[in-house]
Amino acid sequence: MHRLETLSRIALIVIAVIAVVAALSQVESLLAPVVLALVVGIVLSPISDAWEKRGLSPVWGALTSLVISLMIAVLLVLVIQPVVAELMRQAPKVMDDMRSTIIHMRHMFQGIQDASKEVSDAITPAADAAKDGGGNGDKSAVPDAKDLVMLAPAIIAQGLIYVGALFFFQLSRGEIYNWIAKHLAEPSNRGATAARLRKAETRVSRYFLTITVVNGGLGLAVGVAMQLIGLPNAPLWGLVAFLINYILYLGPAALIIALVFAGVATFDGIRVILPPLIYVMLNATEAQFVTPAAIGRQMRLNPLLVFLSLTFGIWLWGPLGGIVAIPLLLWALVLTDSLPDPKSEAEQKLETN
Quick one: pLDDT at residue 343?
Answer: 52
Enumerate residues 6+ apart whose C-beta is below 8 A from 296.
342
**Apex CA 135: angle with CA 132 and CA 140, to 5°?**
115
Residues 92, 64 contacting (CB under 8 angstroms): no
What's the CA gap between 31 and 129, in Å, rounded?
Answer: 39
Residue 335 predicted with pLDDT over 80:
no
Average pLDDT over residues 323-340: 77
Residues 331, 46 contacting (CB under 8 angstroms): no
Residue 52 predicted with pLDDT over 50:
yes
Tens of pLDDT, residues 116-135: 555 455 555 544 544 454 44
Tens of pLDDT, residues 259-269: 988 888 788 87
Residue 350 predicted with pLDDT over 70:
no
* Chain centre to alpha carbon of residue 138: 29
Which pLDDT band holds residue 142 (cuts at 50, 70, 90)? very low
Residues 334, 200 contacting (CB under 8 angstroms): yes
Which of 62-66, 116-120, 196-200, 328-332: highest mean pLDDT? Answer: 62-66
Quick one: pLDDT at residue 108?
Answer: 57
What's the CA gap between 194 and 176, in Å, rounded?
Answer: 9
SS3 label, residue 144: coil
What's the CA gap between 248 and 330, in Å, rounded?
Answer: 13
Give the C-alpha distances (Å, rounded to integers) separating 176 from 172, 195, 198, 264, 283. Answer: 6, 12, 11, 52, 39
Quick one: pLDDT at residue 223?
Answer: 92
What's the CA gap between 48 and 67, in Å, rounded?
Answer: 12
Tens of pLDDT, residues 11-35: 888 888 888 888 777 877 888 888 8
Q: Is 296 left (phi over 0), alpha (psi -120 to 50) or beta?
A: left
What's the CA gap between 317 and 162, in Å, rounded?
Answer: 15
Q: 237: closest CA among 249, 254, 250?
A: 254
The DSSP letter of residue 339 is: S
Which pLDDT band holds residue 90 (cuts at 50, 70, 90)? low
Tens of pLDDT, residues 205-258: 888 888 889 999 999 999 999 999 998 888 888 988 998 888 777 788 889 988
Percent of the chain with pLDDT over 90: 8
Which of 1-10, 23-32, 276-285: highest mean pLDDT? Answer: 276-285
Quick one: pLDDT at residue 109?
Answer: 57
Residue 151 predicted with pLDDT over 60:
yes
Residue 164 predicted with pLDDT over 80:
yes
Residue 39 predicted with pLDDT over 80:
yes
Which pLDDT band holds residue 141 (cuts at 50, 70, 90)? very low
Quick one: pLDDT at residue 140?
Answer: 43
Quick one: pLDDT at residue 75?
Answer: 78
Quick one: pLDDT at residue 279?
Answer: 95
Q: 237: closest CA among 227, 247, 229?
A: 227
What residue type is 113 in one-letter code?
Answer: Q
